Amino acid sequence: MAAIYTWLCFLLWISFAAQDKTPDVTVTCVVSDECVLPCSFQPGSQKTVEWLKQDAVIYKFERRSDDGDEDEDEEDGDSEEHFKLEQLAGRASVFPHLISRGNATLILRRSGLKDRGTYRCRVQTSTGEHSAKVIVKVEAPIRGLFLELSRLSGYEEMKCIVRDVFPAPRVTWTTEPPTFESLRPVTRMLADKMGLYTVDSRLKTLEGRPDLIYICKVTTSYGSQAWTASLREREIKGTQGRDLNIPCSAPTYLSSPSLRWSFSNGEDSSHILSYDSRSGNSVSTPPWDAHVELDGFRVPFGDGSLRLMDPRHSEHTGSYTCVFSMAHSTHTERNAVTIDGPAGQRGKSTGGPSHWWILGLVIALMVVALAGSLAYVKLKERNLKARSDPEETTELHLVKDAAVDMTDSSPLTAGGTNGQSGVQTGSQLT
């Protein structure tokens, strides 16, 4: 029985000790924002509040009261307040009217990276002393993630950029669909004079895979944020007057995103339509409402393809961009669309001179050259054949010689000839 009583007393002592101990508090502050360091205690008279950083006093507040009333407030004429401010240059303060209620929370304005560290709240009252530890972390969260395709290096590469972030984040690259080729990005992190990082990660595109989605994911070191951006670019050709489907598909990491379509012809940019994932409604902007159509039932499943109806070369040739978006995640597809004119009028529709006569002239010259080549080949074959058959040539010469001999030996031919010759001679003499 005595042993049981001893164990009960021990357990009660452990319980009271655990209740008296204040657990450490970890606070993550954002650069340039207010930071709240909590501290609560059992109120009493003659209060002294001290905030320390690495055991050095950075802020001190004192209040004394002659009546010992625990419910005194700052308007009590018998109370006296003393402030002692060190190191924080007017950026730190407490709420005096909350001190009497047991709240010594410190407000730290315009927090920066130098405010990181371990703080201790120490309060002394007539009822005793209270101490609490606050661990302060400071971060500059990701405000935006930019992903673009660049050709300035002489080849195509994806650029993933994050600015003014702390601590230095982690960057990873993937593709969809996945590829067995190893991805070898080059990531650079540069810190400015405030200690904030600019991250520039570049990945060379894979050859022979024009339809890949490139995905860049940036995760903060504290693990509080993860931003994702992805991009795909295409080239599409269409014919004037014929409906054209402009594809846009969301990657698998997005679930029920919103959708926005826009158009640019190199000079002006215009909004085409928007789709709200919560309401399931799409709204198009004039004059696009007469030329575009979106299947809203397919968008929740990741298909945001746009149907371009009765397109015209001068009006609808340009860049069509669709953007799927969620919190901290975006997917962009850019489609360079060229609308050709109808058959027989393409040269006219493009607004430039016709070059068909050049093609006709080239074809005619090729035909003449081919005919000359064939004639030359036939003539050459005939000469070669004559040279390659000497017996036939000899027989032809023998036949010709025999015919000449028979002509010379014919009496009729000879007399007629001589008589004719004589007459001619006589007439010449006369």
Give strand pairing partners of 25.
Answer: 134
pLDDT at site 223 = 66
Q: Which residues touch 213 (CB under 8 Å, ≥6 apart)? A: 175, 176, 230, 231, 232, 251, 331
pLDDT at site 411 = 41
Lowest mean pLDDT across 84-93, 250-259, 285-294? 84-93
The CA distance from 369 to 91, in Å, is: 91
Instruction: Identify which has the larger pLDDT, 318 or 44.
Output: 318
> pLDDT tens-digit profile of 61-84?
887 654 444 444 444 444 545 454
The CA distance from 185 to 177, in Å, is: 18
| Average pLDDT value over all residues in the chain | 79
pLDDT at site 429 = 31
pLDDT at site 69 = 46
pLDDT at site 388 = 58
> pLDDT tens-digit profile of 107-140?
999 999 999 999 999 998 887 888 999 999 999 9
181 near 134, Cβ under 8 Å?
no
Q: Is 0.85 surpassed by the pTM of this model? A: no
The CA distance from 422 to 414, in Å, is: 12
pLDDT at site 380 = 76
pLDDT above 50: residue 148: yes
Residues 36, 37, 40, 41: what is their CA dihedral angle, to the nearest 10 degrees? Answer: -150
Q: Which residues touch 138 (CB under 8 Å, ≥6 apart)? A: 28, 29, 30, 31, 35, 111, 112, 113, 115, 116, 166
The CA distance from 145 to 167, in Å, is: 16
Instruction: Identify which has the larger pLDDT, 207 or 74.
Output: 207
Q: Which domains does the chain have, with CATH numbers?
A: 22-139 (2.60.40.10), 141-224 (2.60.40.10), 230-347 (2.60.40.10)
The CA distance from 399 to 430, in Å, is: 42
61 near 81, Cβ under 8 Å?
yes
Lowest mean pLDDT across 16-25, 37-46, 215-224, 304-313? 16-25
Integer CA distances (angstroms), 426 to 204, 246, 299, 362, 412, in order = 108, 105, 119, 69, 21
